[in-house]
Chains A and B, each alone.
Chain A
Amino acid sequence: SQKIEQNSEALNIQEGKTATLTCNYTNYSPAYLQWYRQDPGRGPVFLLLIRENEKEKRKERLKVTFDTTLKQSLFHITASQPADSATYLCALASGSSNTGKLIFGQGTTLQVKP
């Protein structure tokens, strides 16, 4: 069955360092992969989308890589700040990529200490 796995352990880093989060998937050939941020008691907020033919994508302090051979995406936050503390979810399209239906990983909680 299709499966998405993220680091289940919380990630604690010092302010200013780079946070790296991992998303691995099996039994998928996704056309694109997305990353979302979720704060406690809130709905997820979209951060980045990367397509299968893109190796890397950047947005301000965020960088996402997508390796379809390894079936893995890495999500980096450079110069991390305490305000970056949240849960980060990766998501893949389920079934046809045109339905908009997403399957989410369990999320990794990031804690940035000042």
Chain B
Amino acid sequence: GAVVSQHPSRVICKSGTSVKIECRSLDFQATTMFWYRQFPKQSLMLMATSNEGSKATYEQGVEKDKFLINHASLTLSTLTVTSAHPEDSSFYICSANSLLGVTEAFFGQGTRLTVV
């Protein structure tokens, strides 16, 4: 199946700093990618839809100025957590679909963010 690579897999940062997470589709082009957040023992919560060449669409309650999304090419989307706080510590996962429409999502391996 298609491969989505996410980097880094783990990151520890200090409060107030920013962290960038990359999501790449390795063997297909993705005009749309999705960013999720997952707290321990909870499900994936969709944060935003990343659209290549245009602004991301954020879900209700997600601060777009705090979670900056850039989708500059058909194979790369980045999520930057700005001015991170301990409550931002979570597991962040991206996904992409290789085709529009009815198809499965391919997920990255996730990024464990710890803000100290």
Chain A min CB distance to B1 (Å) = 7
Q: Could you say which residues of chain A place their CB within 8 Å of the CB of B34? A: 100-102
CB–CB A99/B44 < 8 A: no
**B54 at the binding interface (Cβ < 8 Å):** no
CB–CB A42/B109 < 8 A: yes
Question: Chain B interface: which of A12-20, A45-53, A62-70, A74-82?
Answer: A45-53
CB–CB B102/A89 < 8 A: no
Q: Which of B46, B49, B105, B108 has the most CB of A within 10 A?
A: B105
Known: A43-B108, A102-B34. A97 touches B43 (CB 8 A): no
Taken residue by residue from 49 to 88, chain B's Cβ proximity to chain A (1 for < 8 Å, 0 otherwise) reads as 1000000000000000000000000000000000000000
Q: A residues 1-46 with Cβ under 8 Å of B?
A: 31-32, 34, 36, 41-46
What's the interface size class on B, roughly? 20 to 34
CB–CB B109/A100 < 8 A: no
CB–CB A51/B102 < 8 A: yes
How long is the Cα–Cα vector from A110 to B76 in the complex, in angstroms? 34
Known: A41-B112, A43-B6, A99-B32. A104 touches B43 (CB 8 A): yes
**B25 at the binding interface (Cβ < 8 Å):** no
Q: Which residue in chain A gives the minimum CB-CB distance to B45?
A: A104
How long is the Cα–Cα vector from A102 to B105 in the complex, in angstroms? 9
Chain B min CB distance to A52 (Å) = 10
Q: Could you say which residues of chain A place their CB within 8 Å of the CB of B93? A: 43-44
Looking at the complex, which one of B32, B46, B104 makes contact with A94 (CB distance below 8 Å)?
B46
Q: Could you say which residues of chain B place their CB within 8 Å of the CB of A49? A: 102-104
Q: Could you say which residues of chain B place their CB within 8 Å of the CB of A104? A: 43-44
How long is the Cα–Cα vector from A36 to B42 in the complex, in angstroms? 15
How long is the Cα–Cα vector from A91 to B93 in the complex, in angstroms? 15
Chain B residues with CB under 8 Å of chain A are 1, 4, 6, 32, 34, 42-44, 46, 49, 91, 93, 95, 97, 100-110, 112
Chain A residues with CB under 8 Å of chain B are 31-32, 34, 36, 41-46, 49, 51, 89, 91, 94, 97-107
Closest 5 CB pairs of A and B: A43-B107, A46-B104, A100-B97, A106-B43, A104-B43
